[in-house]
Structure 1
Amino acid sequence: MNFNPSLSWILVVTTALVLGGCASSPETDHSSRYTISQDRAPAGQFDASGLSDAKPIYEAPRRAGNKSPYTVWGKQYQVIPSNEGYVARGTASWYGEKFHGHKTSNGETFNMYEMSAAHKSLRIPGYARVTNLDNGRSVVVRVNDRGPFHGDRLIDLSYAAAKKLGYQSRGTARVEVAAITVRADGSMFLAGQPFAPGASVSRPESSVAATGQMAGDNRALYVQLGSFSSRDPADKLLNRLSAVMENPVRVRAIDTAAGRFHRVQVGPFVNEDSARRTQNLLEARGFSQSILLTDSN
């Protein structure tokens, strides 16, 4: 979803084209580069049921689309140094026919029938698992664009991805976005946790035993609230959690190929139901960016 600069903004045309915009941007379209003025769904009954998820692969870091900081409509945004460990909850919207066939922020061509997305801060190209929190459906998308730059929306999905998640008719949905990173050796991680596409991150190898541990190893269920490259913000989040939670809370340091990360986690939990209840309680108390996963004790 390319950022639509005014034709009179000659001095910022190059920057604007690199940054990108989105279907949820302000309604006024100052550019003649699009053949329709308002975004819309494709005509007819498009069937997304048979579409496959995007297939995460290793790609060397690129400069295209990753300038940081960057400014759109007077507001400055930062691109994060690494997608590893990223997970957030927020509002998803979608974009479609207006932007179909036009360039994304990293120079690829937007196809509303493919599984793709735009994000303000994830490095691109990248991949993410997006889960509709209202119905539990999940898709894996390729993140190759910047946006959305409207309100507090977290991510814009292609029309096809939104339809697979079941919110294309409503326009927005409450979602969880967890980054998928792939290393040069092919190993894959979801929000910093070892991951295989098609497998549940909370039950990767076997069912959860009554002790809260994974059968045959020392892995248990946790609700993770954040993953930070430095210890200080992790400790601050830990202190906030300790003030409102009776459950055990910890900061666990993990060494990855992208460096050391400090994971703030609540748990362990004896089963997924109790973990989900705590996750909902945390959200009600203002801790909206969480993910349920298994981790070592």
Structure 2
Amino acid sequence: MKKPLISLFAFAVVLLFSACSSKPTSDAPGTAEPARRVSPNDGRYQQEHDSKPSRLPTLLEMTDPTPKAEALSRGGNNPYNIFGQDYLPLAHLTEHEEIGIASWYGNKFHGHLTSNGETYNMFGMTAAHKTLPLPSYVRVTNLDTNQSAIVRVNDRGPFHQDRVIDLSYSAAYKIGMLQRGTARVKVELLKSPAMLAQQQQVIPMQRAPELSTSSRLARQCYIQLFAISDNNRARQLQQQIASQWSVPTEIRSGNGLHRLLIGPTADTQLAQQWLNQFRTGSYPQAFFVDGNQCG
């Protein structure tokens, strides 16, 4: 007769612990959980909270991109709604200036797609804005330190009422706002898709003339601009340079480095012109890979 009593006692203990560990039901009076604001990106990222990377950006990674008017991206320029708030991107914008709070985003979003379909690189000079056309270029100035950076806007955000722009890790470091996390800034539009007609009036760098097959085989002159370990950054710069300068480009990888080369060309005079222009621009360390092929 003792066994049924023991079993009954054990069953009561199980019920007690189950009641303590279970969540209260929503229909119990006074126990309903408050509704939380659900992000459309819930479950998209591996990290719950954003964080800094394990290293500082390099000088090359903090190089300001050259502002240029690019075609409007297919993605990220339609009206959208976040947290019940409607946003209307200003695709035809040619002038814009605002003052407000800037924040930055890093590890949590690194490697994920931006609103216009590109891959976010926290070491690139990019930014997110709620309504500026994608892509566009802006100058962001820290009003407390007067430090500034030029960034390419290719993403949407920040979706905080008191913030106007979200900077990449490199851009935030460049304007001195990492320690506080936010900064009061001035945002100035430099180039937008609506200015594309203005870019067409700019005289591009002289293109390589068409040469005979024998001439192309005779010389293969290359100019090396840089060698870095970040393959994604190397390819990003390759696209920018090829588009900006209208020159052939090539990336050669080896020993953990990715070298960006300009060329090939069999025209030695043109090669010298290219080298001079890159050296007087953003790449003073540019050099001929093989002087015999370029001299």
Aligned mates of 2:57, 2:101 — CA distance in 1: 24
Contact 2:72 2:91 survives alignment (8 Å): no
Aligned mates of 1:92, 1:180 — CA distance in 2: 18
Aligned mates of 1:163, 1:170 — CA distance in 2: 11
Which residue, out of 121, 128, 133, partners 1:118? 128
Instruction: Compute the displacement of 1:186 (Å).
Output: 2.3
Match of 2:275 in 1: none
Please give the residue correspondences for 1:256-267 in structure 2 after superposition, counting only pairs within 5 Å: none
Which residue, out of 76, 88, 98, partners 1:65? 76
Which residue, out of 97, 104, 116, partners 1:87? 97
Contact 1:88 1:177 survives alignment (8 Å): yes
Aligned mates of 2:114, 2:166 — CA distance in 1: 12
Percent of paired sites with the same residue: 48
Contact 1:48 1:164 survives alignment (8 Å): no
CA distances 1:87-114 after superposition (whole Å, capped 9, x unpaired) = 0000000000000000000000000000
Match of 2:185 in 1: 175
Alignment TM-score, normalising by the size of structure 1: 0.51
Instruction: Compute the displacement of 1:183 (Å).
Output: 3.0
Contact 1:127 1:140 survives alignment (8 Å): yes
Instruction: Compute the displacement of 1:31 (Å).
Output: 2.9
Query: Is the strand fraction higher in 1 or 2?
Result: 1
| CA root-mean-square deviation | 2.2
Match of 1:186 in 2: 199
Which residue, out of 37, 51, 60, partners 1:40? 51
Aligned mates of 1:150, 1:39 — CA distance in 2: 15
Pair 1:133 & 2:143 matched = yes
Aligned mates of 1:164, 1:66 — CA distance in 2: 28
Aligned mates of 2:39, 2:70 — CA distance in 1: 36
Instruction: Compute the displacement of 1:29 (Å).
Output: 8.6
Instruction: Compute the displacement of 1:55 (Å).
Output: 2.0
Instruction: Compute the displacement of 1:62 (Å).
Output: 3.2
Instruction: Compute the displacement of 1:30 (Å).
Output: 6.3
Q: Structure 1 residues 29, 48: closer, same or farther in 2, change over 3 A? A: farther
- The amino acid of 2:169's aligned partner reads Y
- The amino acid of 1:138's aligned partner reads S
Match of 2:274 in 1: none
Q: Structure 1 residues 164, 152: closer, same or farther in 2, change over 3 A? A: same
Instruction: Compute the displacement of 1:34 (Å).
Output: 1.5
| Runs of 5+ consecutive residues of structure 2 not aligned to the other structure | 1-36, 202-295
Pair 1:152 & 2:154 matched = no
- The amino acid of 1:115's aligned partner reads M
Contact 1:54 1:116 survives alignment (8 Å): no
The number of residue pairs the alignment matches comes to 161
Pair 1:74 & 2:87 matched = no
